[in-house]
Amino acid sequence: AQAVSSNSAGTVEFVAGQDKSFYFLEMNTRLQVEHPVTELITGVDLVEQMIRVAYGEKLAFQQSDLAINGWAIESRIYAEDPYRGFLPSIGRLSRYLPPQEGTVGDAIVRNDAGVREGDEISMFYDPMISKLSTWGPDRPGALAALGRALEDLHIEGMGQNIPFLAAVMDQVRFV
């Protein structure tokens, strides 16, 4: 980041070797789609920080101030039909009932959506409906919370990948 004079929030991607060596892949000067996972485990609102830096403010913390707390996982809810090879599925969201957000038991549920009931999913845009993320004190807790949240997310009007994602949460090898 210093070599290219970057002073914005972004993502640096590496591949880690078995010997704990790191190999640079790329640097994105934007947030990744998965940023809610980072926000859930660090408690830092990355979007807010990116806006503050763009406004000219300095970050109010150092890397050493950050700590990882618990586990988080994200599922992208798409208007794609797993029964048709994950082809995009267009239509009107005749029903869109997201799960309860916030603290649910000992977990946190977050649903970042850009749609509402009645909206149309067209063939002209990315068919992502929402990003459903959960936090738990450990991996099993985060996965269990995501499984429950997927069960509580109801969409009608077009094919979507919720049943597929719920099935993944039940796979022993994944868990």
- Dihedral sign computed on CA atoms, order 30, 26, 68, 137: positive
- As given in the structure block, the two tokens for residue 121 are 């999913």
26 is catalytic: yes
Closest CA to 137 of 109, 111, 108: 108
> How far apart (Å, rounded) are the C-alpha atoms in residues 16 and 25?
10
Say which of 13, 26, 48, 74 is annotated catalytic: 26
Q: In terms of DSSP H, where are the helices of the chain?
A: 35-42, 46-54, 139-151, 162-169
Catalytic annotation, residues:
26
